Structure 1
């Protein structure tokens, strides 16, 4: 088969047109009706591309969704315990008592779920309070040992982390997961603070310091990692190199967000 054949060329063009039509139809369906949620995020939760300054001639702009887990995206989520993982379909039975079950769970594939992301709510306030407490403890320790340079440096570093938590860090936290989006929406009815998106979680068994085996879960990914910004809003991001901004997102029928306002 060769593209020199007119029938092949026409068939290829038809496939491209059909693919584009289906994509547009999916977008239209997602955005039809009343949004499942409408939330306004800042530059702390929707990040500019790292190479933004070098790509301004490109008309496309997609902001990276910066979500967190509690206490960190790279550590097990406290709320993803053995009972929650069992409800999500993971084979956790006897995972802490039998080596073969531990291996099976540690090699299990991530599970597709619906995730609840909370903006500037109790999860963020708890993270802020934890960092505040650590900073106060380290500063008090440094004050009691004024000649200890290591303690003084630890106090300064902790203060910097607190300032980042207060002014720079994302306030968007994944706080729950489930297999039914409507059930999660009923549990978290605040559509201006809680959004439901697709994602995946994974499970593993870890041995603790006391040699006990514990089943733990991690949020593997949120399906939507970037949000495209329409060209009409692009000027907001070109005012300076590190702009402050707010983006209002609507979440549609397929739980895919899109930008409906920028300021």
Structure 2
């Protein structure tokens, strides 16, 4: 038997679908916010960046959570020194089995897993990264060279030190586990540590196993409408010339029982 739906019935079905979807979303939001938050951290513009594109006046605004990893070779790489082979095994990567390759193959195999990642704010990892930047400047200065290339290296090192001091994010990924309770017991300071979901990518390259944090599951932090106008007013001031701009706001970011973020306050910094 063939059933024919008129436009009214189709409209009702579509409307009902939207209502049910919104109920499911609202229930998830409510369920995440009941009970004590798993984290409550105050971050600045260094860690929560304004979007580069202009936002429509009537729409909400979202900020990207900017985190880093401590390593000795790059300020932007998401490779982490603590993602050792032993650590990857505890995260469920079967190195010997999953990445076994046939002889002569040039194909680099890779695998991904969703895990819980710990982000540390303004802690030891940031201080270590700052110390590395200072040491680079000191080492080049010790050369006391007048060579143009060495002078350029020194200039670049000084610029990177200033960026480390005043511009780069102080939020670092420092650990991961498949069980969030293990991390909660290990990192108990809710004002310093964030536990959230993320993706780890592991590849078998010609140099061996390479692992890095592919990204967070929730990358964008949506700002309540009551705070959106203030943040939109700051979008006209851009960092086009790599100029260091002091953070202009601080945001209280909470992570609920489902380890999902939500904003509770936005304050202007003088």
Provide TM-score, normalisation by structure 2. Answer: 0.85
Residues 236 and 245 in structure 1, CA contact (< 8 A), matched pair in contact too? no
Does residue 76 (structure 1) correspond to residue 83 (structure 2)? The answer is no
Compute the displacement of 1:75 (Å).
5.0
Q: Structure 1 stretch 15-24 or stretch 86-95: which is displaced more? A: 86-95
* Structure 1 pair 101–119 and aligned structure 2 pair: CA distance change class (3 A): farther
What is aligned with 1:120?
A: 122
> Residues 103-114 of structure 1 correspond to what in structure 2 (within 5 A)?
106-114=108-116
Q: Distance in 2 between matches of 1:171 and 1:180?
A: 25
In 1: Cα distance, 2:44 partner to 2:195 partner? 18
In 2, are the aligned partners of 1:119 and 1:173 still within 8 Å (CA)? yes
Q: Which runs of 5+ in 1 are unaligned?
A: none
Counterpart position of 2:158: 159
Indicate yes or no: 2:210 matched with 1:216: yes
* Residue 63 of structure 2: aligned partner: 63
- 2:233 is the alignment partner of 1:231: no
Match of 1:250 in 2: 254
Q: Report the secondary structure of 1:117's partner residue.
A: strand
Which digits, 9 at most, give the CA deviation of each residue in 1:155-182, with x for residues without a partner?
Answer: 0111001100100000111111101111
Unaligned regions of 5+ residues in structure 2, if any?
A: 238-246
Pairwise CA distance, 1:13: 1.1
Counterpart position of 1:29: 31
Q: Deviations over 1:179-220 (max 9, x none)?
A: 111111101111100010011101123444xxxx4x332111
Cα offset, 1:99, TM superposition: 3.5
8 A contact 2:111–2:203 mirrored in 1: no
The structure 2 residue matched to 1:259, chosen from 258, 263, 269, is: 263
Runs (4 or more) in structure 1 with deviation over 6 Å come to none
Q: 1:216–1:109: structure 2 CA closer, same or farther, 3 Å change rule?
A: closer
Shift of 1:33: 1.3
TM normalised by structure 1 equals 0.87
Check the 8 A contact 2:110/2:204 in 1, yes or no. no
Q: What CA distance in whole angstroms lies between the structure 1 residues aligned with 2:136 and 2:194?
A: 30
> Residue 239 of structure 1: CA displacement?
5.0
Partners of 2:205 and 2:176 lie apart in 1 by 21
Q: Take 1:2 and 1:100, find their aligned partners in 2: how far apart are those partners?
A: 57
Which residue of structure 2 aligns with residue 181 of structure 1?
180
Count, aligned residues: 252
SS of the equivalent of 2:96 reads: coil
| Displacement of 1:65 | 0.6
RMSD over aligned Cα atoms: 2.5
